[in-house]
Amino acid sequence: MKAKMKPKPENAITIAVSSRVLFNMEKEQQIYEQQGMEEYIKYQVEHETEPFSPGPAFSFVKALEAVNTRLRELYPESEELFDVVLMTNNHAYVGLRLINTINHHQLFIERFCMTGGNSPIGYLKAYHTNLYLSADPVKVREALEEGIAAATMFTQEKMKEVSETQLRVAFDGDAVLFSDESERIYKAHGLDKFFEHEKAHENKPLDHGPLKGFLEVLGKLQKKFYDKGQRMDCPIRTYLVTARSAASSGTRALKTLRSWGLEIDEALFLAGAPKGPMLEKIRPHIFFDDQMFHVEGAAEMGTVACHVPYGIAQRVPKKGIKDKEISSAPK
């Protein structure tokens, strides 16, 4: 069988995932935290023929591979494909177990970055990373500060089954796709002033947020399917799921996307209602929100939800962030 060639990093859409979000490594993480590095490495080596079970990013990565299969059929020579890089601060000793796991699950991941405890940020830049997913909120913040789209993932009790043929990505609006400008007004002056501000500025596009670039690359890939007459059978679908209300503050959100030349397939304006039930219907592979309230609400109903620690809603000091970051009231 002819091996699939890996695209060059500058042509690919690079998704960097940490080993702790691609696979479930909770038990190993506990050993590391309670018994230290030496015991952790020893345990990994002793169990290196046992594959890890899937983690929260696993279905997302499988869906990226499904999109690549369709892209290769339509554009055999193109390098505009998803390229998944396994980014881990693990010691190289753990590499064998990770490779065995990737082969066991038949994942197509060739690029590994084992930093042996060092920060991955320099490597993320070298790979032209379009999205970084990690279980470590400190590293995620570092990446965001360097202008790299990034989010924190959590190991969840339950994960709903998702499509194996269509990649579905759901985004919150403010402080995710858009800047936190409007949220700042809401936090400082309340809901009425927020509505007034949005009405007065509805023709002024919002500034971009940390995940705008990722929506942009998804849109570029979608267009490749549309150009081949496959709009109705596109293997990528995008969703805006926002607590904004359509009539009073939805106009500015939609006009902002249009001013960027970006389409979103479905826009859900929930006017403050919980996002969990809607996301349960959509069944996205991944949902991005800047508030833990919404992340937890979605995760409880089985949606893989990530936290984007960006903007005014983050009340946690930068150093010593706990895995469960707590933010302010729902937006």
Q: What is the CATH number of the domain that holds 208?
A: 3.40.50.1000
Which residue type occupies 180?
D
329 in a structural domain:
no
Are 19 and 102 within one domain?
yes
Query: Mean pLDDT for the chain?
Result: 90
328 in a structural domain:
no
CATH of the domain at 57: 3.40.50
172 belongs to the catalytic site: yes
CA distance 23 to 17: 10
37 in a structural domain:
yes
**131-135, 187-191, 250-254 — which is least confidently predicted?**
187-191
Question: Region 246-269: what's the mean pLDDT?
Answer: 94
For the chain, give the longest Cα–Cα distance.
64
316 in a structural domain:
no
Question: Region 35-53: what's the mean pLDDT?
Answer: 93
54 forms beta bridges with 23
* pLDDT value of position 310: 95
Are 306 and 171 within one domain?
yes
- DSSP helix/strand/coil, 123: helix
Q: Are 253 and 206 in contact (CB under 8 A)?
A: yes
90 in a structural domain:
yes
CA distance 266 to 107: 30
CA distance 279 to 287: 8
Q: Is the per-residue pLDDT at 118 higher than 90?
A: no
pLDDT tens figures, 75-110: 999 999 999 999 988 878 888 999 999 999 999 998
273 in a structural domain:
yes
Domain boundary, last residue among 152, 181, 209: 152
Which domain range does residue 40 map to? Answer: 13-152
pLDDT tens figures, 210-228: 999 999 999 999 999 999 9
Total domain count, the chain: 2
278 in a structural domain:
yes
Question: Region 200-208: what's the mean pLDDT?
Answer: 93
* pLDDT value of position 5: 67
Which residue type occupies 78?
S
Are 192 and 143 within one domain?
no
Are 217 and 244 within one domain?
yes
Are 203 and 299 within one domain?
yes
pLDDT band for position 156 (50/70/90)?
confident
Are 196 and 225 within one domain?
yes
Are 19 and 148 within one domain?
yes
CB atoms within 10 A of CB 268: 18
The alpha carbons of the chain give a radius of gyration, in whole angstroms, of: 20
HSE-CB of 92 using CA atoms within 13 angstroms? 0
Q: Is the per-residue pLDDT at 317 higher than 80?
A: no
pLDDT band for position 183 (50/70/90)?
confident
Are 129 and 196 within one domain?
no
Q: Are 272 and 265 in contact (CB under 8 A)?
A: no
Active-site position among 83, 136, 172, 290: 172
* pLDDT value of position 257: 96
- For strands 236-242 and 266-269, give the pairing: parallel
Strand arrangement of the beta sheet that strand 82-88 belongs to: 111-114, 82-88, 13-17, 129-134, 150-152, 305-307, 286-289, 167-171, 236-242, 266-269
Nearby residues of 294 by Cβ (< 8 Å), 6 or more positions away: 172, 243, 275, 305, 330
Are 22 and 142 within one domain?
yes
Domain boundary, last residue among 152, 178, 204: 152
For the CA atoms of 157, 236, 131, 241, the dihedral, rounded to the nearest 10 degrees, stands at -60
Element (H, E) at 257: helix 251-259
pLDDT band for position 3 (50/70/90)?
low
Are 260 and 283 within one domain?
yes
**48-57, 193-202, 233-242 — which is least confidently predicted?**
193-202
CA distance 204 to 179: 13
Question: Region 320-324: what's the mean pLDDT?
Answer: 36
98 in a structural domain:
yes
* pLDDT value of position 324: 38
* pLDDT value of position 95: 87
pLDDT tens figures, 16-42: 999 999 999 999 999 999 999 899 989
152 forms beta bridges with 134, 307
Are 77 and 140 within one domain?
yes
Are 196 and 137 within one domain?
no
Which residue type occupies 275?
K
CA distance 232 to 64: 19
CB atoms within 10 A of CB 194: 21
Percent of the chain with pLDDT over 70: 93
Quote the pTM value. 0.91
Q: Is the dihedral of CA 191, 194, 199, 202 positive or negative?
A: negative
